[in-house]
Structure 1
Amino acid sequence: MASVPTLNAEDGRAVIDPASYADWDNLLDRFDTIRSQSPVVRVAGVDDVHRPFWLVTGYDEVMQVSKDNATYLNNPQTVVFSLNEGIAFAKAMTGGSEHMVASLVTFDAPIHMKYRKLTQEWFMPKNLRTIEGEIRAIAERTVDRMLAAGPDIDFVKQVSGPYPLHVVMQILGVPEEDEPRMLMLTQQMFGGQDEDLNQSGMAAMTPEQITQLVAGAVKDFEAYFAGITAEKRVNPTSDVASTIANSVVDGSPLNDRDMMGYYIILAAAGHDTTSASTAGAMMALAHDPEQFARVKADRSLLAGIVEEAIRWTSPVQHFMRTVAKDTQLGGQELKQGDWLMINYVAANHDPSQFEDPRRFDAARSPNRHLAFGAGAHQCLGLHLARLEMRILFEALLDRIERVEPAGEAHRSKSTFVGGLKSLPLRITSA
């Protein structure tokens, strides 16, 4: 019987360590080594703080898992990597579920598609064209504030952070005065592993404290959107919040847990991910004046800039899946009930799929990246993300003559959703 490839303890710890994802080049080096040895490898329960799982780093294997939703399930085990004590805390909070939030990313067929269809048309290009003018106005106001603050700015704090947050909150019907609260809750949910983002004032948090911080943010989100729901049922409008508040599945309104999960996944996932890709694109352009000049002169290149930024940054860094039946993947025998991590950072930097994957190449073609996932669970908001980024960069390129680094950029410490948390730039207006 062939031995099962298993990561050594050092690599196993690195894969689940939030700090590893802030040290980007070293992380990519590590993934290159792991992938070259086996694209599917076992990670034992390092230090007994987490369940054993399979790490999937190869592009083809991540694509296979993503498209086979019958063999690889989002339930019953958590879809985001968690330590044992975090899983126990979630089960205690929810009455048995490992998912702190019930949402599209935790559902399997047939319920997943029923819930996805509730808002799917809303996020298609035809409908998004109806709000393009509103998004463009938000982009222009964002650039106004950036130029007023310049020439030296932190692009994340002044542009790529607030811009997509404002867009998604407008879509959800959240008043502008409540956006700081939503930003804080988003950062607590996805920035809980980074002392600069979790809003806790604590430089070093234990895993239990991180879990409790996230749980508190979930409760606050739920309380806030309960009020939104009540309002949208009495006075529905054209926003997506009204669609969710008044939706019916199998003849019944959404239950409270599922409805709140819907709001939370749209509010949180629709913000941090686009922020990370936008900042990544701007960093690449700041370090490549020739590429900046080309796209400023030829806006047809913008689509390539946007797509490459999404691949290059891979804001959603992983998801977990549960094996539904015995199967083979990447030459390994997987058993029913096995837990596996599909790592998008590794897959989107697989040289077998992307030539010179660490190079930011706006002309990269084809660019079949996996940053939006694939198959039935492909990101619901992918068209919105692309539209937001294109509109913002059109506004930036119209009004900026030059952009250059003004200090060292820093990435967030996070295993799940990650990206730049600071990007110092010097902006010269047109």
Structure 2
Amino acid sequence: MAIPDEIAKDVIDPKAYGDWDRSHAAFAWLRKNAPLDVAKIEGFDPFWVVTRHADILNIERQNDLFHNEDRSATLTTIEADRRVREMMGGSPNLLRSLVQMDNPDHMQYRRLTQSWFMPQNLRKLEDRIREIARGFIDNMAAKGTECDFARDVAFLYPLHVIMEVLGVPAADEPRMLKLTQELFGTQDPDVNRAGKEMDDAGEALNMINATVVDFMTYFNAMTEDRRQNPREDLASVIANGSVYGQPLGHLEAMSYYIIAATAGHDTTSNTTAGALWALAENPGEFRKVKDDLSLIPAMVEESIRWETPVKHFMRTATADTEVAGKAISKGDWLFLSYPSGNRDEAVFDAPYVFKADRTPNKHVAFGYGAHVCLGQHLGRMEMRVLWEELLPRLKSFELNGPARRTQANFVSGPKELPIRFRMT
């Protein structure tokens, strides 16, 4: 059966993710009544909506059967898909990063930077990350008793960390933040390039493409520099890297930079802001962690589950198969809903309650299998270090006005989080 229209629309409506309750209500209905069924929405090709934790894991562990690259890796309209294929010589994706690759390419390109993001390498960065965290907490304290935690701390701290790792000068960080928000927030009038509602798929695609071009112009210049003057940074690895014995192609290199420069901070920013918002609404959990800092790693995992900054990825079936008793045909498109998987009542006790000490916590926010998030260990470290430095100094806090979320159905989280606070 097809999913009812009003539920299907809430699955894809950016405003439903900005509203939070709307998207979660739609996914709760789906898990109960139609956990794996087809959404048929005007302007879109039909697609399966995968809402259960077990089904998401099942699909993600079968990388040969469910591809990322054959069709768009994110939900797109029929018209936008047609235009992208026209622009990209038949490819359904504007970029060709790890997200838009399947094996053997995915494994080969992932290997290029994998060692940079492994825990043993990140341990060498922890002291510097802690120094950066303290600097942002000092800036927060200098504001007195009020700030917008999202804009003043959560957005800027992970941005500075990944830009330092990448080799982007601090002076260019505002530009990188703006471009990231434009790329992921195309559907939100507060952050997109046009500053207005985007109802026209063609206009939205033009904006995304313009943002991608701006990124590429920047990183093309960086590539030239790093080839002439290599340094101990990630940009030098990408600029001088080779795959299959050949230098990276232009599209692959630019895509690598862009995924590092965007997902490398935005997801952590969203989760950090989401965690403080959750603690503001659950002061007992704040006291619990403040009184026992050993709970911070568990709280980090819970905040990742709670916020789930990446809302979906698409997969394409490469052969006729079956998932949860449903016949999936070759070429079918599947929408993996990570927020739904992370609220699955079959896996999580009281899934709509923020429990700072939740254990076990087998969330799917980082994905699973071959495509598991490359930067997951860095993101966890950044959040752990920030809370280790902030919680001992943060005496009390509360919301100081309405907090708001970005309207986006791919990557989103809090965009405004005004708080009143007291530091020790």
Equivalents in 2 of 1:258, 1:65: separation in Å? 26
Equivalents in 1 of 2:319, 2:118: separation in Å? 34
Matches within 5 A, 1:69-80: 69-80=63-74
Structure 1 counterpart of 2:3: 7
- 1:323 lines up with 2:314 in the alignment: no
Residues 188 and 196 in structure 2, CA contact (< 8 A), matched pair in contact too: no
Structure 2 counterpart of 1:30: 26
Q: Gapped runs of 5+ residues in structure 2?
A: none
Residues 193 and 207 in structure 2, CA contact (< 8 A), matched pair in contact too: no
Structure 1 counterpart of 2:183: 189
Residues 311 and 337 in structure 2, CA contact (< 8 A), matched pair in contact too: yes
Which of 367, 370, 385 is the matching residue for 1:391?
Answer: 385
Structure 1 counterpart of 2:235: 241
Matched to 2:156, the amino acid is P
- 1:125 lines up with 2:119 in the alignment: yes
Q: Which moved more, 1:102-111 or 1:31-40?
A: 31-40
Shift of 1:121: 0.8
Structure 2 counterpart of 1:250: 244
Percent identity over paired residues? 45
Residues 394 and 423 in structure 2, CA contact (< 8 A), matched pair in contact too: yes
Shift of 1:51: 0.6
Distance 1:150 1:89, change over 3 A: farther
Equivalents in 2 of 1:382, 1:28: separation in Å? 24
- 1:373 lines up with 2:367 in the alignment: yes
Shift of 1:330: 1.8
Equivalents in 1 of 2:387, 2:357: separation in Å? 17
Structure 2 counterpart of 1:165: 159
- 1:16 lines up with 2:17 in the alignment: no
Equivalents in 1 of 2:69, 2:12: separation in Å? 20
Which of 210, 213, 234 is the matching residue for 1:216?
Answer: 210
Equivalents in 2 of 1:363, 1:412: separation in Å? 27
Residues 150 and 269 in structure 2, CA contact (< 8 A), matched pair in contact too: yes
Per-residue deviation, residues 323-344 of structure 1 (Å, max 9, x unmatched): 0110111221000000110100
Residues 289 and 356 in structure 2, CA contact (< 8 A), matched pair in contact too: no
Matches within 5 A, 1:32-181: 32-44=28-40, 46-47=41-42, 49-181=43-175
- 1:297 lines up with 2:291 in the alignment: yes
Distance 1:9 1:291, change over 3 A: closer
Q: Gapped runs of 5+ residues in structure 1?
A: none
User: Normalising to structure 2: TM-score of the pair?
Assistant: 0.98
Distance 1:152 1:199, change over 3 A: farther
Secondary structure at the aligned position of 1:146 is classed as helix
Residues 219 and 254 in structure 2, CA contact (< 8 A), matched pair in contact too: yes
Matched to 1:243, the amino acid is V
Structure 2 counterpart of 1:360: 354
Equivalents in 2 of 1:282, 1:81: separation in Å? 30
Equivalents in 2 of 1:281, 1:209: separation in Å? 34
Equivalents in 1 of 2:273, 2:380: separation in Å? 14
User: Normalising to structure 1: TM-score of the pair?
Assistant: 0.96
Residues 285 and 355 in structure 2, CA contact (< 8 A), matched pair in contact too: no
Q: CA RMSD in A?
A: 1.2
Equivalents in 2 of 1:308, 1:382: separation in Å? 14
Structure 2 counterpart of 1:420: 414
Equivalents in 2 of 1:150, 1:200: separation in Å? 34
Matched to 2:302, the amino acid is E
Shift of 1:204: 4.7
Matched to 1:7, the amino acid is I
Which of 328, 331, 346 is the matching residue for 1:334?
Answer: 328
Between Structure 1 and Structure 2, how many residues are aligned? 424
Residues 280 and 420 in structure 1, CA contact (< 8 A), matched pair in contact too: yes
Equivalents in 2 of 1:39, 1:203: separation in Å? 31
Shift of 1:85: 1.8
Matched to 2:15, the amino acid is A
Which of 307, 310, 328 is the matching residue for 1:313?
Answer: 307
Equivalents in 1 of 2:193, 2:295: separation in Å? 38
Per-residue deviation, residues 347-403 of structure 1 (Å, max 9, x unmatched): 111100111111111221111100000000000000000000011111211321111
